[in-house]
Each structure stands twice: as structure tokens, then as C-alpha cells.
Amino acid sequence: MPAHKLPLKNFDWTSNFAYAVGVLATDGSLSKDGRHISLTSAEKEMLRLLAKCLNLKNKLSKNPMSGYSKNQAWRIQFGNVQLYNFLLQIGLSPNKTYSLGELKIPNEFFRDFLRGHLDGDGCIITYTDKYNTPKNPEYIYARLMTYFMSASKVHIQWLQNYIKDSLDIQGALLERKPKHKNHVTTWTLKFSKKESTKLLNWIYYSPSLPFLKRKYQKAKPYLYL
């Protein structure tokens, strides 16, 4: 898969910058004014990681509570025309939720981008399966699954193909149809334990990288570091 050559201007690809792009591609928002970029999340740690990766000094603010969530959300907003235009060049756009497609990420930084994507719109599930212990007390299994979610089928298929080309793991693409009129179809890329172990070792290749600590702690028992 050839690397993308981009007019970087003042932006050099690094692991931190690629992680920030992954976060913005999932939970970020580009204003229609052509200047402002924002990120809203209940994960205060993620906002601080984004600020650190982009060298931002902007303060976090509380987002107004809504009826959809009982958790307090936080927001960071900043203006940067050059970064805004750069994000447009690589495939982001205002109101990208349903139209997001392939992004122009250099091959060497894709796993850092993917780690940001996981922190933004993904999850790692771990649990101990004792379902068959009544048959045999030794039937206890540690389960691990990794999920990436998106409302854009094109984008999630691009993720699946890129990961397959890079790691030779397929995952399973799942469709979740809306239960209510104001909801939309969402797509999930799911990896089983064996595939997740390979994938997580690829994206968590150093303990000094930016990542959400609570997700890293779930992956840590399966890492070879």
C-alpha cells in the first residue's frame, strides 16, 4: 500500500499528530466557518491528550447536559485555519458523521491514527467466561474483543481493508439497524481474541504513547511489551 504524499505545510506527521487525527476523525467536529475545530467527550483525559498532541493552550469547558446522557461532557475548541484546511485535504469535513470515507494517513503512522480512532469511537471488552463451569470447573476462559464503530459504512470498510492489508486479520463487519426514527444505521468492526491480540500489540507498541489509560489497562494483559 503506497504512502500518501501530502502538502504538510506546518504539520509534520508524528505518532502524536496521527493519534490526534484519529481522535478528531471520530469525536471531532469542523465548524462551517472554515476555522474552528472542536472536540466534545465525557473522557476528559482524551481532551487533555488532544491538547498535548497539538500543543494547545485552550481551556476545557463543560458541555451543556442533555437528556441522552447522565454523564458530564467536556469540550475543547480552537481556531486554526491551516490545520482546518489540512484536515480537509486528508478527508475530514464538516458534518462528516455519515459521509466520512477513506482518509489520507501515511502508512507508518496508521497504527497511531487507529489508536486515536479506538479511543474516540471504539472499545475493548474483556471478561471471564464461566458459562460452562457447571460441566467442568476448569472451563473458565478469558475473553477479549475489540470494536471500531462508525455511522459510515464506507469508512468502516476502509478501516477493515487497511487492517487486513497490514496485519492479515479480517474482523467481522456488523450492521446495527436503528430502533427509533431519529436514529441511524451504525456499523461495527469486531475482532475476536486472537485477532485482537495481534491488533492491540500493533497499536500499543510502546507504553509512552498517547492513549486513554482505561482502555490501555484492558489491553495490557495481552501485550508483549
Per residue in 48-94, pLDDT (tens digit) is 999 999 999 998 988 776 555 567 889 999 999 999 999 999 999 99
Query: What pLDDT, on the 0 to 100 scale, is given for residue 72?
Result: 84
For residues 6 and 90, is the Cβ–Cβ distance under 8 A? yes
Give the three-class secondary structure for 45.
helix
Give the three-class secondary structure for 120.
helix
| Beta bridge partner(s), residue 189 | 148, 173
Distances (CA, A) of 62 to 59, 144, 146: 10, 34, 30
Confidence check: pLDDT of 4 > 60: no
Residues of the chain with pLDDT > 90: what percent?
Answer: 72
| Beta bridge partner(s), residue 125 | 145
Q: What are the pLDDT digits (tens) for 183-224?
A: 788 999 999 999 999 999 999 999 999 999 999 999 999 999
Q: What are the pLDDT digits (tens) for 9-40?
A: 557 899 999 999 999 999 999 999 999 999 99
Pick 131 or 184 by higher pLDDT: 184
For the chain, the first-to-last Cα distance in angstroms comes to 27
Q: Which domains does the chain have, with CATH numbers?
A: 15-97 (3.10.28.10), 117-222 (3.10.28.10)
Measured N-to-C along each axis, helices 110-121 and 44-53 cross at an angle, to the nearest 10 degrees, of: 150
Query: What pLDDT, on the 0 to 100 scale, is given for residue 8?
Result: 43
